[in-house]
Structure 1
Amino acid sequence: MRMVDLINKKKNGEFLSGEEINYIVRGYTEGQIPDYQMSAFLMAVCLKGMNREEISSLTSAFVDSGERVDLSQIEGVKVDKHSSGGVGDKVSIALIPICACIGIPVAKMSGRGLGHTGGTIDKLEAIPGFKTSLSRDEFISNVNRYKMAIVGQSPSLTPADKKIYALRDVTATVDSIPLIASSIMSKKIAAGADAIVLDVKVGSGAFMKSLPHARELASTMVDIGKSLGRKTVAIITDMSQPLGYEVGNANEVREVISLLKGEGAEDLTVTTLTIASYMAVLGGAFTDFDTAYRAAADILKSGRAVDKLKEFVTIQGGRAETIDNPGMLSQAEFHIAIESVRQGYVSSIDAESIGVSSMLLGAGRRSKEDGIDYSAGITMLKKIGDKVDKGERLCILHTNMEDTKQAEEKARNSFCLSSSAPAPIKHIHEVIQ
């Protein structure tokens, strides 16, 4: 078997066998296939695509390149959740206590963020004392006893995907649905989940800007999950504007606390309850979505979810009093209001630009070596459909930086106004299962 022949085969639109895909992934991971040949192969995949069997084989090859997490000692059906990423997406933090209240074991491995804000791990570390480094025994014990635990993602999971992704990033081969889907699903499967709920974002703040592309990615990942023996559901959720009202690490934790007290923004509440309900159904706690949704909504109203969040913070070394007094979370020195230059209705928000502005304020990383300012971020005061008067505040920037001109410009230009109110935003676009 020669790599040049396999490149040529894919270039001509032919299908590769599982054995051939394993040869490519293993050879590149072990250094036997050079970057220039792998780059050519990745570009051929971008141009010619892959069928479902090839994508499943590629996913399995990624999984087999590293360690698999063994969660067999954890009681019950382990349901994992993945988001394709967005601005203000703090859903994972809210899901942990809700699902634990329902009785679904949440054994979560999460990564750090690169871009708009931190990842779930970074956001939780904004809570004083919260630790995301647990021994294997602590992790399993916490899930069995409390139904919840989170740790940072192991570097030994899917090393082939990490190496190939780094190459994709510099060869204009990131935007390939077969490569995106296999990358995401390999990490979820290697992490040991029995079932997977996928939150596929669509809109200006998402990787997938259009519904057809989001639908294709969602369907591809559901097919991968099923082909590899995992119950899988994909929910296509809106990211045409930041989710909720807060962007930034400590700010988003504050908003999660409000959500779990039953005081969350409509879009954040609906998205969180929908995902939690599908997790509950896949986990076997309920037989149908509607019953699960009512139960999850009742958990928010009862206050049980915020109590469970305090327990979660405590068992991971954090200061539980932070949940009762969110003012203990770090706060920025400077607060800059962005005001509207005219009257009208907010017709659209460039969520990606809001995310970039937040990063420029210190809330995110430009490179993986960068630190994060937990107190930095943006509070959205107006969302799509809201009426705005001239001079009224659209959002507030929070930072410890003195030079914020670029961030201010990004945030200001993110808002578009029209003379009439736009159609209401649909929070959940589709469910694929």
Structure 2
Amino acid sequence: MLFAEIIRKKRDAEPLSREDIGEMVAGITSGAASEGQVAAFAMAVLWRGMDHDEAAALTLAMRDSGDVFKWDDLPGPAVDKHSTGGVGDNVSLMLAPIVAACGGYVPMISGRGLGHTGGTLDKMDAIPGYATQPDNDLLRKVVAEVGCAIIGQTGDLAPADKRFYGIRDVTATVESVPLITASILSKKLAAGLGSLVMDVKCGNGAFMESFDRAEELAGAITGVARAAGLPCHALITDMNQPLASAAGNALEVVNAVEFLTGARRDARLQEVTLALCGEMLVTAGLQPDRAAGVTAARAALETGRAAEVFDRMVAALGGPSDFIETHQSHLTKAKLTRPVLAPSSGHVRAIATREVGLAVVELGGGRRRADDVVNPAVGLTGLLDLGVEVVKGGPLCMIHADDAAQADAAEAQVLAAYQIGEATDVPMPVLKIID
């Protein structure tokens, strides 16, 4: 069948067969389907949706477009977490070594930034020498010896998704529930996991802004995962404000190192990270319940075992051998920094979180096109949380930029994003757990 005919069927709301979907995925993988055809297919799915069988067929076809790992030789369970993306979401950098320090094995296949959200892989790329796309033998070695590896898709792991992911980012088709489901689960199933925990973001900085849409996505992912034989729980977490106080790749790495060492821990970031770790330890069978899981995760963090695992992972994948201790000397820094000053006194009553993420993109810390080069040094630090009291002329955040024009543009976006006025209720970081 011609790719155009498959696109037409989906455009006209006709059901796609497993064979139709398999042929489209094969075309995406081989390049036989042009970028325009892939974009048209994505847009048709965004508008028309997919039923459960279509979404499962797309997920499995994308999984089977390349290698599928098996971790039968590990002495413990292979487990992972995936976030739907947000602003200041560097949870993975702390979570993987925490879970590894608790006896789990975390082969974390991560992605690059999508739209206004930062990508875990872009953060790891900020570490000089770190191999974000190792060959399969090195991945296996690091996971077995260290306990975790945060990497990107190799050319042989779900290659259909790798191409599809980049095209969706620049064609306004990111928000499709079946496409998000297939993208996430194809990689996780190909990674050979024994269990998975999802962090589904909800709010004005998430792709799913409403709670109902986030719950729909969480249900779709957990349902398709279980149909494919992968135990999967989901946490719905709030993204009506940046999760960390930093947004920008190298800056979020610094934030993660400070978190792991105890030099500084953002409260909401800590609550979400430990909740996800606890759920992972339960789904992996390493702890009997959530409370025990969170206690074990906190102990791994407080004793320094998680920081040690992170240091070993960085070194094993080609980064500096003493990164935790000397990270500031290894990470690139922006040419200028300056504060964004509050225009009035009051409390932070609302944050347009997507706009904060777009400010980082405007600075060069994200992508407008799939082939854009990301500047790891730029971004924002000291971002104030909802509910915090501010004084006129006090800092809302600090801009890290490479030139004054970029800083001016980012400052205007941050000022537009922050509303200052009467104090208001602040959402809880973890809104619901679906198990």
TM-score above 0.5, yes or no: yes
For the residues of structure 1 that align with 2:32 and 2:123, how far apart are their CA atoms?
39
Question: What residue in structure 1 maps to residue 350 of structure 2?
Answer: 348
Gaps of at least 5 residues in structure 2 are none
Aligned to 1:417, what secondary structure does the other structure show?
strand
Residue identity opposite 1:426 in structure 2: M
Q: Is the 8 A contact 1:379 1:397 kept in 2?
A: yes
Gaps of at least 5 residues in structure 1 are none
Q: Is the 8 A contact 2:199 2:234 kept in 1?
A: yes
Question: What residue in structure 1 maps to residue 230 of structure 2?
Answer: 230
Moved more, 31-40 or 221-230: 31-40
The Cα shift of 1:204 comes to 1.6
The Cα shift of 1:381 comes to 4.2
Aligned to 2:365, what secondary structure does the other structure show?
coil
> Cα gap change, 1:8/1:354 in structure 2, threshold over 3 Å: closer, same or farther?
closer
Question: What residue in structure 2 maps to residue 54 of structure 1?
Answer: 54
For the residues of structure 2 that align with 1:182 and 1:274, how far apart are their CA atoms?
25
Moved more, 9-18 or 299-308: 9-18
For the residues of structure 1 that align with 2:114 and 2:67, how far apart are their CA atoms?
24
Question: What residue in structure 2 maps to residue 283 of structure 1?
Answer: 284
> Cα gap change, 1:160/1:291 in structure 2, threshold over 3 Å: closer, same or farther?
same
Moved more, 1-10 or 263-272: 1-10
One of 392, 395, 400 as aligned partner of 1:393: 395
> Cα gap change, 1:63/1:346 in structure 2, threshold over 3 Å: closer, same or farther?
same
Question: What residue in structure 2 maps to residue 312 of structure 1?
Answer: 313
Residue identity opposite 1:288 in structure 2: D
Aligned to 2:404, what secondary structure does the other structure show?
coil
Question: What residue in structure 2 maps to residue 339 of structure 1?
Answer: 341
Residue identity opposite 2:384 in structure 1: K
Q: Is the 8 A contact 1:117 1:358 kept in 2?
A: no
Cα shift readout 1:148-181 (whole Å, capped 9, x = no counterpart): 2233311333343455556656766443212221
The Cα shift of 1:400 comes to 2.1
Cα shift readout 1:245-276 (whole Å, capped 9, x = no counterpart): 11112211121122123431111001111111
For the residues of structure 2 that align with 1:116 and 1:171, how far apart are their CA atoms?
13
Matched, 1:382 2:395: no
Moved more, 23-32 or 101-110: 23-32
> Cα gap change, 1:67/1:272 in structure 2, threshold over 3 Å: closer, same or farther?
same
The Cα shift of 1:71 comes to 3.4
> Cα gap change, 1:413/1:158 in structure 2, threshold over 3 Å: closer, same or farther?
same
Moved more, 63-72 or 256-265: 63-72
Cα shift readout 1:59-118 (whole Å, capped 9, x = no counterpart): 112222233234344333211221111111111110121011101011222233355575
Question: What residue in structure 2 maps to residue 414 of structure 1?
Answer: 417
Cα shift readout 1:379-430 (whole Å, capped 9, x = no counterpart): 1342100111111111110122232221111111110112x21102210111
For the residues of structure 1 that align with 2:114 and 2:203, how far apart are their CA atoms?
19
For the residues of structure 2 that align with 1:330 and 1:2, how far apart are their CA atoms?
48
Moved more, 304-313 or 40-49: 40-49
Q: Is the 8 A contact 2:86 2:118 kept in 1?
A: no
Moved more, 355-364 or 118-127: 118-127
For the residues of structure 2 that align with 1:407 and 1:124, how far apart are their CA atoms?
24
Matched, 1:274 2:252: no
Question: What residue in structure 1 maps to residue 68 of structure 2?
Answer: 68
Aligned to 1:362, what secondary structure does the other structure show?
helix
Q: Is the 8 A contact 1:118 1:365 kept in 2?
A: no
Aligned to 1:88, what secondary structure does the other structure show?
coil
Q: Is the 8 A contact 1:339 1:393 kept in 2?
A: yes
The Cα shift of 1:314 comes to 2.6
Residue identity opposite 2:315 in structure 1: T
The Cα shift of 1:310 comes to 2.3
Residue identity opposite 1:311 in structure 2: R
Residue identity opposite 1:306 in structure 2: A
Moved more, 52-61 or 15-24: 15-24
Aligned to 1:332, what secondary structure does the other structure show?
coil
Matched residue count: 432
> Cα gap change, 1:389/1:200 in structure 2, threshold over 3 Å: closer, same or farther?
same
Which residues of 2 match residues 168-187 of structure 1 at below 5 A? Answer: 173-187=173-187
For the residues of structure 2 that align with 1:174 and 1:374, how far apart are their CA atoms?
23
Q: Is the 8 A contact 1:117 1:365 kept in 2?
A: no
Residue identity opposite 2:65 in structure 1: S
Aligned to 1:65, what secondary structure does the other structure show?
coil
Q: Is the 8 A contact 1:115 1:366 kept in 2?
A: yes
Q: Is the 8 A contact 2:234 2:434 kept in 1?
A: yes
Aligned to 2:413, what secondary structure does the other structure show?
helix
Q: Is the 8 A contact 2:175 2:208 kept in 1?
A: no
Q: Is the 8 A contact 1:105 1:144 kept in 2?
A: yes
Question: What residue in structure 2 maps to residue 150 of structure 1?
Answer: 150
Q: Is the 8 A contact 1:251 1:375 kept in 2?
A: yes
For the residues of structure 1 that align with 2:136 and 2:66, how far apart are their CA atoms?
17
For the residues of structure 1 that align with 2:74 and 2:337, how far apart are their CA atoms?
45
Q: Is the 8 A contact 1:74 1:140 kept in 2?
A: no
Cα shift readout 1:130-158 (whole Å, capped 9, x = no counterpart): 33343433322222222122333113333
The Cα shift of 1:236 comes to 1.1
Q: Is the 8 A contact 1:281 1:289 kept in 2?
A: yes
For the residues of structure 2 that align with 1:32 and 1:130, how far apart are their CA atoms?
33
For the residues of structure 2 that align with 1:33 and 1:395, how far apart are their CA atoms?
45
For the residues of structure 1 that align with 2:4 and 2:363, how far apart are their CA atoms?
47
Q: Which has the larger radius of gyration?
A: 1
Cα shift readout 1:182-219 (whole Å, capped 9, x = no counterpart): 22211221222221111111112111111111110111
> Cα gap change, 1:122/1:15 in structure 2, threshold over 3 Å: closer, same or farther?
closer
For the residues of structure 1 that align with 2:275 and 2:81, how far apart are their CA atoms?
12
For the residues of structure 1 that align with 2:181 and 2:193, how far apart are their CA atoms?
16
Question: What residue in structure 2 maps to residue 193 of structure 1?
Answer: 193
Which residues of 2 match residues 23-42 of structure 1 at below 5 A? Answer: 23-26=23-26
Which residues of 2 match residues 109-188 of structure 1 at below 5 A? Answer: 109-116=109-116, 119-164=119-164, 173-188=173-188
> Cα gap change, 1:373/1:19 in structure 2, threshold over 3 Å: closer, same or farther?
closer
